[in-house]
Amino acid sequence: MAQPTFRIAPSILSANFAKLGEEVQNVIAAGADIIHFDVMDNHYVPNLTIGPLVCEAIRPCTDALIDVHLMVKPVDAIIPMFAKAGANIITFHPEASEHVDRSLGLIKELGCKAGLVFNPATPLSYLDYVMDKVDMILLMSVNPGFGGQKFIPATLDKLREARRRIDAYTAKTGKEIWLEIDGGVKVDNIAEIARAGADTFVAGSAIYNTPDYKATIDAMRAELAKV
């Protein structure tokens, strides 16, 4: 089955952890495409979340892609743990790796899709020599570490630049690269974000803090249909 043009990726950081498996199943049943898995180490970012054991525990609960966002430093030692735990996509921050090319290569060798994550003030120039190893580019539209933050408007220009880079590379090579956005994505701004170039949308509290996940995801799809 072809992937939808736009993909919605609820972040389980905002889910009810007392019934996490059920929460994962419920958002996919409600129409989400991907499970976004935020890993924070209280070192690279100021918060501590979940590790590979939790990924391994939810893997049997869904056939959906699990998109693991590593906010940890150093990053190389933990990549194999998440590949073994059932991750499909593993992304990391270039500042967290001593050798970005090597870290991307490690993810690919372990059979996962690989991606780079850019904080609001991190330049896209890290992409200059590694586009051949990147399957996803994730732009943070908040400073990482906590859920429920407001979208940083300057990210829209950065999205446009990332989209330009991807389109130029795809035109040259035929390679597909997804462009994901994470932070402050809501029903009322998702269309504007899509117009700037994003095709994959992480939403945590905007989905999990609502009483009806399907109604919220349907509302997001309705907004995306206007793009």
Closest CA to 68 of 101, 102, 100, 34: 34
- Residue 135 annotated in active site: no
Which one of 33, 38, 41, 135 is the catalytic residue? 38
Query: Which residues make Cβ contacts (< 8 Å) with residue 176, sequence separation at least 6?
Result: 135, 170
8 A C-beta contact, residue 202 and residue 182: yes
Backbone angles phi, psi at 111, to 5 degrees: 90, 10
List alpha helices for the chain, DSSP H.
20-29, 52-58, 79-85, 100-109, 155-173, 190-195, 205-208, 213-224
Q: Is 182 a catalytic residue?
A: yes
Closest to 213 in 3D by CA, of 29, 49, 45, 78: 29
Cis omega (within 30 of 0) on the bond before 74?
yes
Q: Which of 41, 67, 182, 199 is catalytic?
A: 182
Active site residues: 38, 182
